[in-house]
Structure 1
Amino acid sequence: MITLYGIKTCDTCRKARKALDTQDTPYRYHDLREQGLDETLLEHLVDRVGLATLLNTRSTTWRSLDAADQQSAKNDAEGARSLMLANPTLLKRPLLDTGDRVIVGFKHDEYADLPH
């Protein structure tokens, strides 16, 4: 089963959900803010796309961190993991896990190629 990870208030996540709904692609939605992020899921995502790709340094959450936490996340993998676990909105989104791969962000062409 395809899983879409995001947050309800994210416009790009809404676009991704609409694209999946429009093309009748079955999926499960996981709201990172409401349902959270655990170590197992984080490691799965890191294994698929890498820590640097997952860390959203343009997010509101990132900008609200103090400089020491930002520096720790940039220079230390464990620091980045800890911050992401404590603040799941630090993950780039949406994240679409097809089982074979994880697509970071909404790319209409990649979503159009998904099985219906």
Structure 2
Amino acid sequence: MPPTIYGIKNCDTMKKTFAWFEGAGVAYGFHDYKKAGIDAATLARWCDTLGWEALVNKRGTTWRKLAPEQQAVADRAAAIALMQAQPSLIRRPVIDFGAGGLVVGFDPEAFAARTA
């Protein structure tokens, strides 16, 4: 089963990721969570594997635009709710390699290790 790349189509990091997979000749699926949303079960699975802190992008403009009470994410449930409401907060890309695990961010070495 090909890996699934989760993210937002027009993000520069996403474009680098697509280019890497295409250059390596690796087939992939794409889930645009800006358009299709992201379900709580998927986010919960990611949080169980990576921790919610690894998924929330606190450097982006979406984070900076949040009210202070929204930025006061205290736990996994609050983080999941916030990421569902604001999918642009999820770090990009998240790549699900199935049994090969998850990779967050542009990491060509991790991609190569999981697609070899």
TM-score by length of 1: 0.91
Identify unmatched segments of 5+ residues in structure 2.
Answer: none
2:13 is matched with which residue?
12
Provide, for residues 24-76 of structure 1, a one-character-per-residue CA deviation record: whole Å limited to 9, x for no partner. 111100111011111111112112211111111112111110011101x1x23
How many Å separate the matches in 1 of 2:76 and 2:104? 19
Does structure 1 residue 111 correspond to structure 2 residue 111? Answer: yes
How many Å separate the matches in 1 of 2:69 and 2:19? 38
TM-score by length of 2: 0.91
Confirm or deny: 8 A CA contact 1:25 1:114 kept in the other structure: no
1:43 is matched with which residue?
44
Query: What is the Cα-based RMSD across aligned positions, in Å?
Result: 1.3
1:93 is matched with which residue?
92
Confirm or deny: 8 A CA contact 2:93 2:105 kept in the other structure: yes
Amino acid at match of 2:25: D
> What is the percent sequence identity of the aligned residues?
37
How many Å separate the matches in 1 of 2:20 and 2:71? 33
Where 1:103 maps in the other structure, the secondary structure is: strand
Where 1:30 maps in the other structure, the secondary structure is: strand
2:78 is matched with which residue?
79
Shift of 1:108: 1.4
1:33 is matched with which residue?
34
Confirm or deny: 8 A CA contact 2:4 2:95 kept in the other structure: yes
Identify unmatched segments of 5+ residues in structure 1.
Answer: none
Amino acid at match of 1:64: K
How many Å separate the matches in 2 of 1:64 and 1:20? 32
Provide, for residues 64-111 of structure 1, a one-character-per-residue CA deviation record: whole Å limited to 9, x for no partner. 10011101x1x2332211111111111111011101210000111112
How many Å separate the matches in 2 of 1:37 and 1:78? 14
Amino acid at match of 1:20: F
